[in-house]
Amino acid sequence: MTDSPVTQFGAPDAPYCEPSTARVTIIPAPLEYSLCYMKGTEHGPQAILDASSQMELYDEELDCCPIEVGIYTRPALDYRGMDHATALKATGDAVREVLERGQLPFTLGGEHSLSAPPIAAVRDYFPDLTVVHIDAHGDLRNEYEGTPLSHAAIERRVVDMGIPLTEIGIRSFSPEEAEFMKTCPNVAVVWGYQFAKGTVVIPWDRLSKHTYVTIDLDALDPSEMPAVGTPEPGGLRWYQLLDLFREICHRTTIVGMDVVELCPMEGQTRADFLAAKLVYKMIGYRYCDKA
Per-residue pLDDT of the chain (291 residues; tens, 9 = 90+): 446 789 999 988 888 888 989 999 999 999 997 666 678 999 999 999 999 999 999 999 999 999 999 999 999 999 999 999 999 999 999 999 999 999 999 999 999 999 999 999 999 999 999 999 999 999 999 887 777 677 778 889 999 999 999 999 999 999 999 999 999 999 999 999 999 999 999 999 999 999 999 999 999 999 999 999 899 999 999 999 999 999 999 999 999 999 999 999 999 999 999 999 999 999 999 999 976
209-212-218-223 Cα dihedral, nearest 10 degrees: 50
The CATH number of the domain holding residue 209 is 3.40.800.10
Rounded Cα distance between 38 and 263, Å, is 8
Domain contains 11: no
Identify the sign of the CA torsion 200, 119, 260, 47.
Answer: positive
DSSP string, 47-115: HHHHHHTTS-S-BTTTTB-GGGGTEEEPPPP--TT--HHHHHHHHHHHHHHHHHTT-EEEEEESSGGGG
Q: Residue 117: CB partners within 8 Å, gap ≥ 6?
A: 88, 89, 91, 92, 93, 95
| pLDDT given for residue 1 in this prediction | 43
Q: What is the pLDDT of residue 144?
A: 78
Q: How far is CA 217 from CA 27, 110, 136, 210, 234, in A?
A: 17, 11, 8, 23, 13
Please report the pLDDT score of residue 291 as a whole number. 66
Sheet hosting strand 210-216, strand order edge to edge: 71-73, 24-29, 104-109, 253-260, 210-216, 130-134, 165-170, 187-191
Nearest to 246 by CA among 277, 208, 288: 288
Looking at the whole model, is its pTM more than 0.85? yes
Range of the domain at 134: 24-288
Q: Is residue 215 part of a domain?
A: yes
Answer yes or no: is 146 within a domain.
yes
Cα distance between residue 132 and residue 213, in whole Å: 5
Looking at residue 150, what is its pLDDT? 78
266 exposed, middle or buried (CB, 10 Å; 0-12, 13-18, 19+)?
exposed
| Helix or strand run (H / E) with residue 257 | strand 253-260
For residue 28, the model assigns a pLDDT of: 98
Q: Is 199 among the domain residues?
A: yes
263 in a domain, yes or no? yes
Phi and psi (nearest 5°) for 218? -75, 0
39 part of a folded domain: yes
**Would you call 253 helix, strand, or coil by DSSP?**
strand
* Cross-strand partners of 284: none
* Residue 14: inside a domain: no
Do the beta carbons of residue 169 and residue 195 sit within 8 Å?
yes
Is residue 164 situated within a structural domain? yes
pLDDT value, residue 4: 77
Domain count, the chain: 1
